[in-house]
């Protein structure tokens, strides 16, 4: 590996925050290494569409190294980080390798959390990676396939019940799309079942869905879900998850497919450094996003707890991570170039969007609130715009126009149950 003596910034994680930091540092006098355990940057806001057969995996993910291709001072390395040796200024990989740094940015993201019920995970997969999306897609489609065989009405009903736990944007988007899949896309393809009999139940412990939005928009989203046939159960905490179904408020709901959209926890970066974390495992950072006690280590995105005053924190969404990545690049650059440090990080809320199926959405830009079809088009255009690369924008736009006009979804593939060691007997 080349070492030309420049200041070496190591960024762990090629998500929205890490990538933005790398791009902004690349213009400066730095050598940059991005380490990630996956080879791709994932456009997580659309991951639910891959999980519900609307988009192909390759339409929402892009190799990190090709995104940094034109920055000759940026190297990408595929590897799983398992710790930090802060005294030795090195990142430790799980396979024993070390990568030395001058400055370190931890942008390691979050995973789903089961609030002390890790035993629920096999029954209620969450949605964070492309593999998660493949798993969820396989479970949803397989439930219909199995139901097509059955004559037992109770078991058929259980197979055609989909419970989604957590009514944030991901839960609402999953519920809306599964309802459309059942009521529209799959309707004519089965002979023994009526897919429109499928029940989609969205369970939320809090008092309303999409709590980040105003009461008015949240209520609209709930009505839009009801129009799609989704049963919304707010104020119900799930007390049990099993292969048979879920238990909520003393009631047992038989459901073959349970999806988890209820909570996330940060990666173990705080443990690596032995620094204080909040309840979600996020590193409580200083106003300049550095880790207290480690001037040359920063934490951004879902890894960081960034206070906004009044007990609030910066939300764990892509625009926030990007702003933090850009800000930290500026802090590091000012240090190296001997300029005054920028003021503390200030989060700018650019708005909040959520979609409910293919015809409704809610948009809150602060100065304007939208709902319905216009909001849906705003949502769609914004997401196509934020996708990386013209080719992906064209492909996703084509996919969406196709779904919008025909109701057909092209990625209805059941794959991967034995991806590394597939059963080889053909048929």
Residue found under tokens 């999806």: 259
Q: Distance between CA atoms of 282 and 182, rounded to whole angstroms?
A: 38
Minimum gap (Å) between residue 224 Cβ and a second copy? 27
Please report, as residue ranges, which positions from 283 to 342 form the binding site for a second copy (by CB under 8 A): none
Chain centre distance of CA 205: 20
Q: Distance between CA atoms of 264 and 301, rounded to whole angstroms?
A: 13
Asked if 417 is part of the footprint of a second copy (rule: CB under 8 A), the reply reads yes
Q: Cβ neighbours of residue 275 under 8 Å, at least 6 residues apart?
A: 283, 284, 291, 292, 293, 294
Edge-to-edge, what's the strand order for the sheet holding 98-100? 81-85, 90-93, 98-100
Question: Residue 200 in 3-state DSSP?
Answer: strand
Token pair, residue 84, equals: 């930090």
Q: Are 272 and 84 in contact (CB under 8 A)?
A: yes
Minimum gap (Å) between residue 149 Cβ and a second copy? 6
Find the DSSP H helices in 150-214: 153-159, 169-180
Nearer to a second copy, 1 or 368 (CB): 1
Q: Counting beta carbons within 10 angstroms of the beta carbon of residue 9, is it exposed (0 to 12), middle (13 to 18) or buried (19 or more)?
A: buried
Find the DSSP H helices in 353-421: 373-386, 390-406
Among 19, 20, 36, 314, binds a second copy (CB under 8 A): 36
From the list 163, 107, 154, 166, the residue with the least C-alpha distance to 297 is: 107
Contacts with a second copy by CB under 8 A: the residue count is 84
Nearer to a second copy, 239 or 406 (CB): 406
Longest dimension (CA), the chain: 75
Nearer to a second copy, 174 or 181 (CB): 181
Among 92, 100, 334, 414, binds a second copy (CB under 8 A): 414
Asked if 413 is part of the footprint of a second copy (rule: CB under 8 A), the reply reads yes
Nearer to a second copy, 119 or 131 (CB): 131
Among 37, 117, 227, 393, binds a second copy (CB under 8 A): 37
Asked if 21 is part of the footprint of a second copy (rule: CB under 8 A), the reply reads no
Q: Which stretch binds a second copy (CB under 8 A): 157-165, 168-176, 238-246, 398-406?
A: 398-406
Contact characters 191-210, a second copy, x per CB under 8 A:
xx------------------
Among 85, 119, 131, 216, binds a second copy (CB under 8 A): 131
Minimum gap (Å) between residue 40 Cβ and a second copy? 5
Partners of 30 in beta bridges: 7
Q: Are 176 and 155 in contact (CB under 8 A)?
A: no
Nearer to a second copy, 210 or 285 (CB): 285
6 included as an active-site residue: no
Q: Distance between CA atoms of 108 and 90, rounded to whole angstroms?
A: 16
Minimum gap (Å) between residue 318 Cβ and a second copy? 14
Q: Which stretch binds a second copy (CB under 8 A): 77-85, 334-342, 357-365, 371-379?
A: 77-85
Catalytic residue among 173, 180, 204, 324: 173
Q: Distance between CA atoms of 420 and 134, rounded to whole angstroms?
A: 14
Among 104, 110, 163, 306, binds a second copy (CB under 8 A): 110
Asked if 370 is part of the footprint of a second copy (rule: CB under 8 A), the reply reads no
Please report, as residue ranges, which positions from 152 to 191 form the binding site for a second copy (by CB under 8 A): 188-191
Using only C-alpha atoms, what is the Rg of the chain? Answer: 22
Nearer to a second copy, 150 or 334 (CB): 150
Among 87, 243, 368, 419, binds a second copy (CB under 8 A): 419
Asked if 4 is part of the footprint of a second copy (rule: CB under 8 A), the reply reads no
Nearer to a second copy, 135 or 349 (CB): 135
Minimum gap (Å) between residue 50 Cβ and a second copy? 10
Q: Please give the span between the terminal C-alpha atoms of the chain, in angstroms, as a whole number.
A: 48
Partners of 78 in beta bridges: 36
Asked if 132 is part of the footprint of a second copy (rule: CB under 8 A), the reply reads yes
Q: Which residues belong to the active site? A: 173
């Amino acid at each position: 590996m080349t070492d030309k003596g420049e200041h070496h910034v190591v960024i762990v994680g090629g998500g929205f925050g890490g990538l933005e930091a790398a791009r902004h540092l690349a213009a400066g006098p730095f050598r940059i290494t991005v380490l990630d355990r996956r080879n791709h940057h994932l456009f997580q806001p659309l991951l639910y569409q891959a999980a519900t057969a609307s988009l192909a995996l390759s339409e929402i993910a892009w190799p990190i190294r090709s995104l940094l291709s034109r920055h000759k001072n940026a190297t990408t390395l595929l590897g799983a980080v398992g710790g930090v040796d802060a005294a030795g200024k090195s990142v430790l990989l799980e396979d024993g390798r070390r990568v030395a740094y001058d400055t370190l940015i931890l942008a390691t993201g979050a995973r789903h959390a089961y609030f002390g019920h890790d035993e629920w995970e096999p029954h209620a997969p969450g949605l964070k990676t492309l593999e998660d999306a493949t798993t969820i897609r396989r479970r949803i489609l397989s439930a219909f396939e199995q139901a097509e065989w059955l004559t037992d009405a109770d078991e058929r009903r259980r197979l055609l019940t989909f419970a989604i736990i957590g009514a944030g944007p991901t839960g609402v988007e999953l519920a809306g799309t599964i309802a459309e899949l059942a009521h529209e896309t799959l309707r004519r393809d089965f002979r023994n079942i009526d897919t429109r009999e499928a029940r989609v139940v969205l369970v939320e412990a809090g008092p309303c869905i999409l709590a980040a939005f105003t009461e008015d928009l949240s209520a609209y989203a709930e009505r839009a879900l009801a129009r799609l046939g989704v049963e919304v159960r707010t104020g119900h905490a799930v007390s049990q998850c099993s292969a048979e179904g879920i238990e909520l408020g003393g009631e047992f709901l038989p459901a073959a497919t349970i999806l988890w959209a209820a909570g996330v926890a940060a990666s173990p970066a705080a443990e690596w450094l032995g620094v204080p974390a909040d309840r979600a495992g996020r590193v409580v950072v200083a106003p300049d996003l550095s880790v207290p006690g480690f001037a040359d280590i920063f934490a951004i995105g879902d890894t960081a707890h960034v206070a906004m005053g009044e007990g609030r924190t910066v939300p764990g969404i892509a625009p926030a991570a990007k702003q933090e990545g850009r800000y930290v690049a500026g802090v590091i650059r000012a240090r190296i170039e001997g300029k005054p440090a920028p003021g503390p990080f200030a989060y700018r809320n650019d708005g909040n969007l959520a979609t409910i199926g293919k015809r409704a959405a809610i948009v809150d830009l602060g100065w304007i609130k939208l709902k319905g079809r216009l909001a849906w088009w705003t949502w769609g255009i914004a997401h196509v715009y934020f996708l990386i690369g013209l080719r992906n924008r064209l492909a996703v736009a084509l996919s969406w126009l196709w779904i919008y006009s025909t109701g057909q979804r092209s990625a209805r593939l059941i794959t991967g149950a034995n991806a590394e060691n597939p059963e080889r007997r053909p048929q």
